[in-house]
Structure 1
């Protein structure tokens, strides 16, 4: 080919590339919403005024509550329709309909769990007034969908489909999915079965401590005997459909995944500089592009709210009205039990003392793009849905449900006997005028157990655990129960008035950070597997040492990166100093130089923090790898959602796993520590190159994945990151990773808020990215720098802050 022809070809290709990029840019910008002017919309009954302030945060004011929620649906959809659409499809098991057979595992998973079925049942149970509000919100979403039919978000043009009409139950299925992400015990019970199959029930029990110094409850003796006689093997999935998609699709689509990490604390006026109460909240969720929350202010007669909403769900989930502020953290409550069902030859399940019980079944028909629909039989017993078909091997996803190769059926019992009324609870909470009204409103949260944290303008604060807590027969619920014995069945639910709660504590502060919030002998069973208490302990430590608190000092606590687990590790090393020196001088030198003189702060520029995050998985491997083998991954995954045996060993120095059973001699703790220190050091050197050292922010990164994250070219273009970050799994400023992938931050603050009830104009917050999901919007990532630095901006109250208006939009009824 001549040089002239080659240049001509290259020129043509360049022109095509530039033209294609320009076309994509034009299509993307065309889909963005307008922030000024007048729009006439069918479905409105009166004008709605929308003022966009800094960061394009809207204040929506309407003459009726129905028109307000219509406008909320319209405005939020104009920025987040793709996110809303993919989230309802994921939760409802409808991804394969538009993405094809690759999404079938996820659809099978959520059809089995039955979130869409529950949403339809809930809708029928709501009062007519609440159903009308959901319908108004849906009408607003559809008004945007219809108006933007020719200028849909760029993702729809790339994926090749258009959004279906929004239905009221779509908002409820999204709420149901968020409740599912706050339920954890199923995974723990499955992991226990997997580990018990390898090392026996007694040894496996040691790996599930309840909290500091509190061992796991006893395993049902009938189950111990049964497992001893019928020990299942670890699951072999070589001939089963891969479940990776089921476990990884939510994260791939930039959607929230199961995980627990949130902080909230309230202080009364006795602890503040102004004598007024304050509330801080930073719920921790998986990073995504766009982020999970959307900021707004809502104004209508008898309703005034400011805060963040979950796109797809009306009203405000975290925020405040004129009287009080509220936030949430996960209560880590055990509302799921696994029952081992012994099948009979004729396809029923055994029941001691009575005839076998038939297995009920319903057929789910799953549409698949470019293929025939797939039918799924969802089976259940009186103990719940059979989950065998949605189990699998560890995929280092927080959604993993470890499986077993067993002829027995595994039934999941959940607290979903009664329809959930979470939307009614949100509505009542939004209208609450007192702390007692707000606590009473929370009884509508039946299927999601949360810590509701409250602060009132009169100076009072309160804490209330929501959700229906099981009233069990025999057994603790921490481990699977023998389904064939009726004495282990649930006996209903604890009356919600008995759920743990507190108002105006004598110390002037209430703290929840996924920790054990009740005494070990509390009469109501909430959980047997809390998260580590380190974040709550650190918050209490900072509050106790602080001068009278201000909004700025509350925000400073949210930015704190001191690791109490690092302190425990240092204490554990000092306990064995003499032994470690004798066993391996080099390991001791590394520990002394890089760890023991370190202040334990997980700053991004800290090389010691980098070594620390690699030491955790090295200790898991050195301590448990010989006995657990490939099942170690399942235990390490559990470290994300519960106080784990390594943490208890760091605290106490005690473990029955110190010895390496692969060698003829009995190893000491110092020898295991030496192995781990040397392995972590080698790992750090491999990751950091010639220097052998690197700061934490070069080892651990944070990415906000878009739905197209895994696609070549498009992935980096739509996703945000990777970004080197500080913080740790147990620090107040959380940057949470699984020990299997210490380099990847899986959970981070999804928003931050400090609420000031005495003067709402002083309430501040921030999102990780921004308001918009549109690729080229200036409001897509405009809050990222502030979020990384721990800074924030005022939330609107009675309109955009300081009159700083991006635009004024008037929504008019269409005559």
Structure 2
């Protein structure tokens, strides 16, 4: 080999090294970046063991962490206890708490820029921040001090965590602002908003009525099995199609906005049932509860135990809010189910020629009131200015229909000649925080029922079980007394006799102690007779979960806690029986018209109705629902309006279920008759199912606020996960029929309380305690939640062998 060949070989080798280096360099830089981000994520996690010195404490506080990082917080007085609760919850959920208060208060654009401005304009218009400030002013000094104690704990965490905030803050490029007492109340106001109903249905009604007319559109809003909605107001005008189209977009945005930020959406539900000691094996009361909320990352609840000389309580807290929302103390346990009370009404207003007034029936114009909201927007030199207008019938929604954000999220402005106003109970200051504190410290069923009446903005059914074996219930919330009508549909503001006169006196809200059969069930269904429930509302969810719970409880043998745990995982769909009854009537006609459709029907008739994840028939049933919706209602409504109608089924009894149950609907003829409608739907559903199992058709995801960001979203969200259960099963997995493959609402926790021995209370949550990306406690409960396993909730702290660490908080001067 000559010298030239040697030099050439060396140059080639060096070139290869350079190429390898150039290839390797980005890989090394990426590895360094990933390692740096992982380090940031890990140092942000809380310390479960050791000593921490914090300004604001008056005496040491001990936090013992048990399995799943569930803390038992022990303090010498209530002020330090709430301080430590704020500190501990913020150390795991600061990002979630921050986004919740910003979304509810209309302050997201301040840190996230113009993309979030539509959400801010919506919630500034609704006025949750205004309501929270009014509620804070209405509280007595003692309760304002409790909120301040909690806020000081959150801010102590922020100060102590400088330089090691959660990873999301590093990626988003901002830091949390100091926590204020009103922030806790605005989170409560947001939960009241998502648990209030009928505004969305009224908007949808206006949209459908533009196509069908008022009377026929009303047929699409049955209130319960065999019960039609009352007629709309005779003076309600038929809106023009342009407005209807804008309303349709508004409905979609109202539903989707919170989910875009990984936060709970409207449309929640719940199961709860209680047994008095006469019905149980040990003679002690039992209470089961599983509130249904939208899946999100992190989950909505944080488990803990609080103990001081003034209070001893354990359960699920709402991050950002002091005390325990769902839980028990030494004497009694409590849970909640949404009552489905109608506390929202929509009014149409006619504007006078000067544009500054609306018409009233007595001939006198009413002046439109205004307030100005200035919304800071990241990257903008000046804040966005929003003029919020209102009348005696509520806040005017029209501004959220028109341009204002300068983005693709704007909705078209429509010159209709009408204003749309929303009336809600927020004109009365809420005292829910005072009620929550009283509930946490209640010692009797009567005390707890009285405490919940301070929940003015949100209507919930409180279920109670006492250690003396008794059970009770109480409906919360201010229930409007309407001058005329039922509030199911919008009303013309210029007509005589419309509007709200007053509220039902709180002590007249439905409730009681110890029913004759010693069983209480609340599953968002109609409670009592139509006359009894009429003052609460006229819109309920399907009764099937309640019916199935009653079936499971209808036994002569005494029941134990393990029986209630098993009931919470029941997947039998009662509505499948309604489908069976309808198909059994139609099979002979199907065989004559379309033998293939008859074969598909026979498959469903042979199915036992259990929404097992491995069941192909359950998958077929899930896909049959949207196919039936479109085959039955599509000819009259078109695809867009049919989709809007389907979206309502997550929060009300659907017209499809009533048509299937009764066999009666004027819409059958639009589709060529029942046999023709069923034939098309069965064929379409079978083709889409194509032998797939239920868990291959429907999946569950837990979206994070970053979910929509390419690549990054996958790192923070959880799922998709194939899942069993259905929209009407006790073990709920609720999806909207127009999007049957995406499960939206799930049991956000499950718990069975055992007042005879609080140490036997058991439950589980879908994800975990921590919101930190790399924490071992971020999703450590998911497998248990999916498989039906539960674990003991803390009481008197974890056993020594189960303690993962003890943190000691000390005062710092």
* Band of TM-score, shorter chain: over 0.9
5+ residue gaps, structure 2: 1-11, 404-408
The CA distance in 2 between the partners of 1:187 and 1:803, in whole Å, is 51
Equivalent residue of 1:368, what SS?
Answer: coil
The Cα offsets for residues 470-529 of structure 1, whole Å up to 9 and x where unpaired, read as: 011111111111111241121100111111112111111100000001211227511111
Equivalent residue of 2:315, what SS?
Answer: strand
| Cα RMSD, aligned residues only | 2.0
Which of 360, 368, 384 is 1:351 aligned to?
Answer: 360
The CA distance in 1 between the partners of 2:67 and 2:720, in whole Å, is 26
The CA distance in 1 between the partners of 2:490 and 2:515, in whole Å, is 37
The Cα offsets for residues 732-776 of structure 1, whole Å up to 9 and x where unpaired, read as: 000000011000000000000100111100001111000000011
Could you tell me whether the CA contact under 8 Å between 1:500 and 1:518 is conserved in 2? no
- Equivalent position of 2:8 in the other structure: none
The CA distance in 1 between the partners of 2:277 and 2:354, in whole Å, is 67
The CA distance in 1 between the partners of 2:628 and 2:492, in whole Å, is 34
- Equivalent position of 1:290 in the other structure: 298
Could you tell me whether the CA contact under 8 Å between 1:187 and 1:402 is conserved in 2? no
Which segment drifts farther, 268-277 or 534-543? 268-277
- Equivalent position of 2:3 in the other structure: none
The Cα offsets for residues 130-163 of structure 1, whole Å up to 9 and x where unpaired, read as: 0000000000000000110110000000000000
Cα 1:243/1:463, change in 2 over 3 Å: closer
Which of 619, 623, 633 is 1:624 aligned to?
Answer: 633
Q: Give the TM-score taking structure 1 as reference length.
A: 0.95
The CA distance in 1 between the partners of 2:801 and 2:280, in whole Å, is 29
Could you tell me whether the CA contact under 8 Å between 2:250 and 2:411 is conserved in 1? no
Cα 1:485/1:243, change in 2 over 3 Å: closer
- Equivalent position of 2:531 in the other structure: 521
The Cα offsets for residues 62-87 of structure 1, whole Å up to 9 and x where unpaired, read as: 01100000000000000000000001
- Equivalent position of 2:495 in the other structure: 485
Matched, 1:87 2:87: no
- Equivalent position of 1:41 in the other structure: 54
Matched, 1:104 2:117: yes
- Equivalent position of 2:623 in the other structure: 614
Matches within 5 A, 1:217-616: 217-223=230-236, 226-227=237-238, 231=240, 233-236=242-245, 247-347=255-355, 348-371=357-380, 372-391=382-401, 406-522=416-532, 525-545=535-555, 547-593=557-603, 595-616=604-625
Could you tell me whether the CA contact under 8 Å between 1:267 and 1:279 is conserved in 2? yes
- Equivalent position of 1:120 in the other structure: 133
- Equivalent position of 1:396 in the other structure: none
The CA distance in 1 between the partners of 2:772 and 2:628, in whole Å, is 43
Could you tell me whether the CA contact under 8 Å between 2:262 and 2:703 is conserved in 1? yes
The CA distance in 2 between the partners of 1:176 and 1:801, in whole Å, is 37
Could you tell me whether the CA contact under 8 Å between 1:102 and 1:245 is conserved in 2? no
Deviation, 1:241, is 10
Equivalent residue of 1:502, what SS?
Answer: strand
Could you tell me whether the CA contact under 8 Å between 1:233 and 1:405 is conserved in 2? no
The CA distance in 2 between the partners of 1:462 and 1:12, in whole Å, is 68
Could you tell me whether the CA contact under 8 Å between 2:195 and 2:267 is conserved in 1? yes
Could you tell me whether the CA contact under 8 Å between 2:246 and 2:412 is conserved in 1? no
Cα 1:392/1:612, change in 2 over 3 Å: farther
The Cα offsets for residues 672-703 of structure 1, whole Å up to 9 and x where unpaired, read as: 0000011111222xxxxxxx211010110000
Could you tell me whether the CA contact under 8 Å between 2:77 and 2:310 is conserved in 1? no
Could you tell me whether the CA contact under 8 Å between 2:48 and 2:806 is conserved in 1? yes
- Equivalent position of 1:159 in the other structure: 172
Could you tell me whether the CA contact under 8 Å between 1:286 and 1:748 is conserved in 2? yes
Matches within 5 A, 1:683-762: 683-684=688-689, 692-762=690-760
The CA distance in 2 between the partners of 1:83 and 1:7, in whole Å, is 44
Deviation, 1:6, is 3.0
The Cα offsets for residues 606-626 of structure 1, whole Å up to 9 and x where unpaired, read as: 111111111000000000001
Equivalent residue of 1:591, what SS?
Answer: helix
- Equivalent position of 1:183 in the other structure: 196
- Equivalent position of 2:208 in the other structure: 195
Equivalent residue of 1:615, what SS?
Answer: helix
Equivalent residue of 1:285, what SS?
Answer: strand
Could you tell me whether the CA contact under 8 Å between 1:261 and 1:285 is conserved in 2? yes
Deviation, 1:245, is 6.5
Which segment drifts farther, 692-701 or 70-79? 692-701
5+ residue gaps, structure 1: 394-398, 662-666, 685-691
The Cα offsets for residues 315-341 of structure 1, whole Å up to 9 and x where unpaired, read as: 000000000000001000000111111
Cα 1:259/1:489, change in 2 over 3 Å: same
The Cα offsets for residues 698-746 of structure 1, whole Å up to 9 and x where unpaired, read as: 1100001111111111111111100000000000000000011000000
- Equivalent position of 1:791 in the other structure: 789
Could you tell me whether the CA contact under 8 Å between 2:750 and 2:765 is conserved in 1? yes
Q: Which has the larger radius of gyration?
A: 2
The CA distance in 2 between the partners of 1:470 and 1:208, in whole Å, is 21
Equivalent residue of 2:437, what SS?
Answer: helix
- Equivalent position of 1:689 in the other structure: none
Cα 1:509/1:801, change in 2 over 3 Å: farther
Which segment drifts farther, 247-256 or 502-511? 247-256
Deviation, 1:660, is 2.9
Equivalent residue of 1:451, what SS?
Answer: strand
Could you tell me whether the CA contact under 8 Å between 1:610 and 1:695 is conserved in 2? yes
Deviation, 1:631, is 1.2
Could you tell me whether the CA contact under 8 Å between 2:438 and 2:448 is conserved in 1? yes
The CA distance in 1 between the partners of 2:414 and 2:218, in whole Å, is 18
Could you tell me whether the CA contact under 8 Å between 2:397 and 2:420 is conserved in 1? yes
Cα 1:654/1:243, change in 2 over 3 Å: closer
The CA distance in 2 between the partners of 1:401 and 1:559, in whole Å, is 42
Could you tell me whether the CA contact under 8 Å between 2:268 and 2:294 is conserved in 1? no
Equivalent residue of 2:330, what SS?
Answer: coil
Cα 1:26/1:37, change in 2 over 3 Å: same
Equivalent residue of 1:576, what SS?
Answer: helix
Could you tell me whether the CA contact under 8 Å between 1:105 and 1:246 is conserved in 2? no
Could you tell me whether the CA contact under 8 Å between 1:103 and 1:245 is conserved in 2? no
Could you tell me whether the CA contact under 8 Å between 2:203 and 2:251 is conserved in 1? no
Deviation, 1:583, is 1.2
Deviation, 1:554, is 0.3
Q: How many residues align?
A: 792
